[in-house]
Structure 1
Amino acid sequence: MDWKFLQGLLSGVNKYSTAFGRIWLSVVFVFRVLVYVVAAERVWSDDQGHFDCNTRQPGCTNICYDYFFPISHIRLWALQLIFVTCPSFMVVLHVAYREERERKYRAKHGEDTRLYDNPGQKHGGLWWTYLMSLFIKTGFEITFLYLLHYIYDSFKLPRKVQCDISPCPNLVDCYISRPTEKTIFTYFMVGASVMCVVLNICEIFYLIALRIVNLRHRGSVHTSSRKIYPGTDCDDSKSSLKG
């Protein structure tokens, strides 16, 4: 997987993120992607090859490994990283859509006119897109954490598992390679994921609170304007065009 390509795409998201969003990107790159690429992949590289069972029955070891590890931690984390970063591209695409509308608007009405004060400013439809991306990312994070715990019953890997699935002749003991090291990395990745969930929730509350403050401020400004200029309508005619 080309993580540099993913990093290049997400770097564009950083321009339109809040302070919480920038911290989230840092956590994803430093504590998740970097740890995944540099260390975690190597820890699980010998996962199946060093899964030993105390039997020579052909096929027993493979069947037991598939039963206890239906999907590898490393592949599940790769899917998780892809799913939780993709919603951020919604924001980049929406900004690109705004910039294209701005270009067409200027071409039609002149270079001195503007449809948006700043295409990357989180107002109108872009605010909703950004908020929706946060809810989707949080949902994916929680879903993958649940899947990891559901598949393995715990975030801690046992040293020994017992298997009696055919073609195993009887109840056999199987031993996982480097269970302590893998447990440490599992807890680390889970902790980083939980941190991302907390950051997403904080950013959601921050955006909603900031929106409420702005709406109240705008309402007080409109009320003051109507008192000074009775009978006037202070709504911006271009607000209906923005999205």
Structure 2
Amino acid sequence: MNWSSLEALLAGVNKYSTVFGSVWLSVVLIFRLLVFAVAAQPVWGDDLKDFVCNTIQPGCTHVCHDHTFPISHIHLWALQLILITCPSFLVLGHVKLREKKNRNNATTQEGRQLYANPGKKRGGLWWTYLFSLIFKTVIDAGFLYILYYIYTGFDLPTQTKCSLYPCPNVVDCYLSRPTEKKIFTIFMVVSSSLCILLCIIEMCYLVCKHCNRVLHERIKQKRMQYFSQQKLRALSQLGFECSMDLTASTHSLRKLKNDIL
């Protein structure tokens, strides 16, 4: 996929997002994807090559590196970025499906469309959008927990000790540029936390807006029912008064007729 195709997809995602969704997308693109591609990857580079232990025993450095870094930060972040962007494309696919249904219905139903605005978050699209927010929140929180659990925090030591086979004894191993790696780790953790916060705020916004709309619709429906009942009562009262007037007129005519006779 080239950059123009990716730009078109992201523009489509941003088109059907809320304000908070647009901010989330900006944070992902600028503070996470751009930093990951431009700065973080060169800093990590080849971890094994830059990982040095004070021994010449064959295989010791590889074993100690694998023990210290079970999963590389850079690979973990790459997988995280891929997974958190998938739900947004799911929303875009749902909108495209609605547009396709509109075109098919327009050709078979004399131009009538199923959806007046396919991108409006109502019905199934509202649930799809809410599910995408939940999925993104769970993914970001899950990866933060994995990173914290594997490395027992977000700190990177400058030196580690290793006594695994085939190391002859306890050896000291050293990381290259540990302070720089620690700074980027904290930056990515803060960016992920900000994305989680934005997703939670957007979920609250969607739910509150939906509840507000449902409440207004119910109030409007009750008002219409009230005015309909008032109108029926007025018509009934008017009919009753007309009936009373007609009865009184008939009684007067009968009395006048009796007087004449």
Per the normalisation by structure 2, the TM-score is: 0.84
Distance 1:135 1:175, change over 3 A: same
- 1-structure distance, mates of 2:163, 2:200: 44
- Displacement, 1:91? 0.6
Distance 1:98 1:44, change over 3 A: same
Q: Tell me how far apart the structure 1 counterparts of residues 208 and 100 of structure 2 sit (CA, whole Å).
A: 30
> Structure 1: which amino acid aligns with 2:176?
S
- For residues 28 and 7 of structure 1, what CA distance do their matches in structure 2 show? 14
In structure 2, the partner of 1:106 is 106
Q: CA deviation at 1:189?
A: 0.4
For 1:191 and 1:95, how far apart are their aligned partners in 2? 32
| TM alignment of 1:1-243, pairs within 5 A | 6-111=6-111, 113-230=112-229
Larger radius of gyration: 2
- Residues 129-149 of structure 1 deviation map (CA, whole Å, 9 limit, x = unaligned): 000000000000000000111
Q: Which has the higher helix share?
A: 2
Counterpart of 1:172, as a letter, is V
Q: Deviations over 1:49-69 (max 9, x none)?
A: 111101110100011001111
Residue identity in the other structure for 1:43 = V
Query: Percent sequence identity over matched residues?
Result: 53
Which one-letter code corresponds to 2:185 in the other structure? T
Following TM superposition, by how much is the alpha carbon of 1:90 offset from its aligned partner in structure 2, in angstroms?
1.3
CA distance in 2, matches of 1:137, 1:3: 23
Shift of 1:227: 2.4
Letter in 2 for 1:116: Y
Q: Which amino acid aligns with 2:95?
A: V
Contact 2:103-2:113 at 8 Å conserved across structures: no
Give the match's secondary structure for 1:169.
coil
Structure 2 unaligned segments of length 5 or more: list them. 230-261
Deviations 1:93-140 (A, max 9, x none): 1111111111111112222x2321200000011000000000000000
Once structures 1 and 2 are overlaid, which stretch shifts more, 21-30 or 81-90?
A: 81-90
Q: 1:45 and 1:61 mapped to 2: Cα distance? A: 17
Q: Secondary structure at the match of 1:161?
A: strand
How far, CA to CA, are the matches of 1:77 and 1:25 in structure 2? 16
Aligned partner of residue 50 in structure 2, secondary structure = coil
Pair 183,165 (structure 1): closer, same or farther in 2 beyond 3 Å: same
Q: Structure 1 pair 4/175, CA: closer, same or farther in 2 (3 Å)?
A: farther
In the alignment, the residues of structure 2 paired with residue 187 and residue 216 of structure 1 have an alpha-carbon distance, to the nearest angstrom, of: 43
Q: Does structure 1 retain, via aligned residues, the 8 Å contact 2:159–2:173? A: yes
Give me the TM-score of the superposition, normalised by structure 1. 0.91
Rounded to whole Å, the distance in 1 between the matches of 2:5 and 2:103 is: 28
**Deviating more after overlay: 65-74 vs 181-190:** 65-74
CA spacing shift, 1:227–1:94, aligned 2, 3 Å = same
Deviations 1:29-53 (A, max 9, x none): 0000000111000000132111110
Q: Please, what is the CA RMSD of the aligned residues? A: 1.5
Residue 170 of structure 1 aligns to a residue whose secondary structure is coil
